[in-house]
Amino acid sequence: MSSSKGWIRPGILWVVVLGVVACSTPAATPSPTPAPGPFSLTVLYTNDGWGYTEPCACDPAVGGLARRAAYIRSVRESATNVLLVDSGDSLLTLQRMGDREQGKLLAEAFNQMGYDGVALGGMDFRMGFDILREQIEVAGFPVLSANTLDPQTGDVFDRAYEVVERGGHRVALIGLTDPKIAAEVTQDQMQVLEPVSTLVDIVAAIKEDVDAIVVLSHLGAMYDINLGQVVPEIDLIVSGKDREVYLPALDVNGALIVSAGSRGEYVGRIDLDFDVEGNVVSHHAQVQALADEIADDPDMRRWMAQSGLFAASALKSGESGGFTP
């Protein structure tokens, strides 16, 4: 992972209406040196799903977990070195708030799709600490937040970061949670650390042992732009909270910032090419609207029917059913 980055090259923001270091259980032990040689990485990303599992009740109807699973499967069949991540506010079941069983089923749905890492957004804590802990137990993926501490243990809820391998190369996934929303939702019952300094400390500790750094941030675009300016080692920020689509990817000091709307209506994809020093030399970002031309994945549809996962859909595209986080 090289810390050399270029000048700030502002991107264009499209708002699409349609469609610390305390790490109690780091799942991977850093190797002495990253793998040599150039490599490519495809990152699929979602954010701010709010527990919506079906397409919106609108025209055109977009979204739904079964369509999402189908798109993810198609990319995995055609691309190599694929990562699947979410930057937060996707573990809460908005229309069944406080429902223990639905909370666990939503985590299991993410297992079914094979997520590699999911960050905690501030609203994910609205389900309550106990339900969140149960979701983490069910999750077959790391639940990431470097700057929120479980009041029961004083440690991060699951882990601050995860190091995953693709094609022999090591990629760090680091989760950050909006401190203001997390504090408000939990009524200040939880210690929330300042995210920028927390990230700086983690990156300093791991940057020599990884080939790429991906931040799953639920801080919002303005905060994320600051992260790119302050932490030059970042390669990619998957941004949540603002519920927008960024095309093309914003480029801040060499850190690319992407986001894929909300309510599960889209899946973002960014293809990254790294040189031998670990710098991103080219990239291509796109966002796939989960419209009806994407047929449901039959395995996911079958699992949803058998599991009893609540069929939650927005009233129309971009509508939250009377709830504004």
Q: Any idea where the domains of the chain sit in the sequence?
A: 41-307
Q: Categorize the per-residue pLDDT at 29 as very low, low, confident or very high, splitting at 50, 70 and 90.
A: very low
pLDDT over 80 at 28, yes or no:
no
Could you give the CA distance from residue 119 to residue 146 in angstroms, rounded to a whole number?
A: 9
Nearest Cα neighbor of 169 from 302, 28, 316 is 28
pLDDT over 90 at 304, yes or no:
yes
Per-residue confidence (pLDDT) for residue 1, from 0 to 100? 58
Q: Which of 18-22, 190-194, 240-244 has the lowest mean pLDDT?
A: 18-22
> Domain spanning 41-307: which CATH class is it, in words?
alpha beta
Residues 224 and 239: beta-carbon distance below 8 Å: yes
pLDDT over 90 at 17, yes or no:
no
Per-residue confidence (pLDDT) for residue 241, from 0 to 100? 95
Chain Cα centroid distance, residue 24: 20
Nearest Cα neighbor of 257 from 246, 266, 265 is 246
Looking at residue 107, the DSSP 8-state letter turns out to be H
Question: Mean pLDDT across the chain, nearest whole number?
Answer: 87
Q: Categorize the per-residue pLDDT at 124 as very low, low, confident or very high, splitting at 50, 70 and 90.
A: very high
C-alpha angle with apex 69: 63 to 70, nearest 5 degrees?
90
Q: Which residues of 60-87 are buried (b: 16+ CB within 10 A; e: fewer)?
A: ebbbbbbbbbbbbeeeeeeeebbbbbbb
In the chain, % of residues over pLDDT 90? 77
Per DSSP, the chain holds a count of helices (H) and strands (E) of 7, 14
Would you state the structure tokens that stand for residue 147, as one six-digit string? 């700057």
Q: Categorize the per-residue pLDDT at 3 as very low, low, confident or very high, splitting at 50, 70 and 90.
A: very low
Could you give the CA distance from residue 89 to residue 99 in angstroms, rounded to a whole number?
A: 16
Backbone angles phi, psi at 90, to 5 degrees: -125, -5
pLDDT over 60 at 2, yes or no:
no
